[in-house]
Amino acid sequence: MDPRIIDILRYSGLLIILLVVFLFGQKHYRRHVEKKEIVAELQSNTSDSSFYRQFEADEAHATLLKSIALIHQANELGLPPVDLFDRVFQYDKTEGFGESHSTNYPVKEALVRNALTSAYESAKRLEMLDSGSISDLEDGRIPITLSGSPVLLPLIDPKLSPGLEKIIPNLELLPGDRAGKERQLTAIETASARRLAKDLADAGLIEDAIADRIVDHYSTKIEEPKEESEETEEE
């Protein structure tokens, strides 16, 4: 074979390899940049002013929905929620001798992790994460799904403490058939409401007296069994 043709083939092969390496590196770098942008945006969404002290309930709803979209985008990039939150709260991969960091998170951080993880899982169950719905979530709107339009409702009734409808940890995604109805909590939801009230007080977001009032309101009152009627006297 002509040496010139061999050289052309050699250089062509080399150029193809370099092109593949370049495209792979570019894709990897782009994903790295996208992950950093998601982390930065989620850090903004979970700041005290955004997560706990919104001026309007609609703004709190929008922030929660946008955060769900960010978690989904990160997961699509290979960054699952646990790892995403570790980056948001700036944890190292490991501490000490290769052991994972402690999961005994500060109260406010635990509130963020629990609230957003729960909202993300609810969004999956309510089929809100398909390609047609993500754009709505990114804009802070609840998408219309095949089963209807889900709703965001407070767990703890804001009548017990005005303003709780604007605190994101108190918001839950529920099926659309719950809209317009007075919410009746299940036993599990009641326990969650009591636990949330205590966590909000521990985080300094509500006063202890208010937390006590909420816990008392949602305390399960067990009715004592009625005494059996006395047997009729034997003749």
Write out pLDDT tens, residues 16-41: 877 777 676 766 657 778 999 999 99
Q: Is residue 210 scored above 70 in pLDDT?
A: yes
Q: What percentage of the chain reaches a pLDDT higher than 70? A: 80
Residue type, 70: L
How confident is the model at residue 226, as a pLDDT?
A: 45
Tell me how far CA of residue 86 lies from CA of 29, 93, 153, 177, in angstroms: 20, 8, 28, 35
Q: pLDDT of 87-139, one tens digit each?
A: 999 886 544 444 445 568 899 999 999 999 999 999 999 989 987 789 999 99
How confident is the model at residue 104, as a pLDDT?
A: 82
Domain-by-domain residue ranges, the chain?
3-92+102-217
Distance CA 205, CA 53 (A): 9
pTM: predicted TM-score of the whole model, two decimal places: 0.77
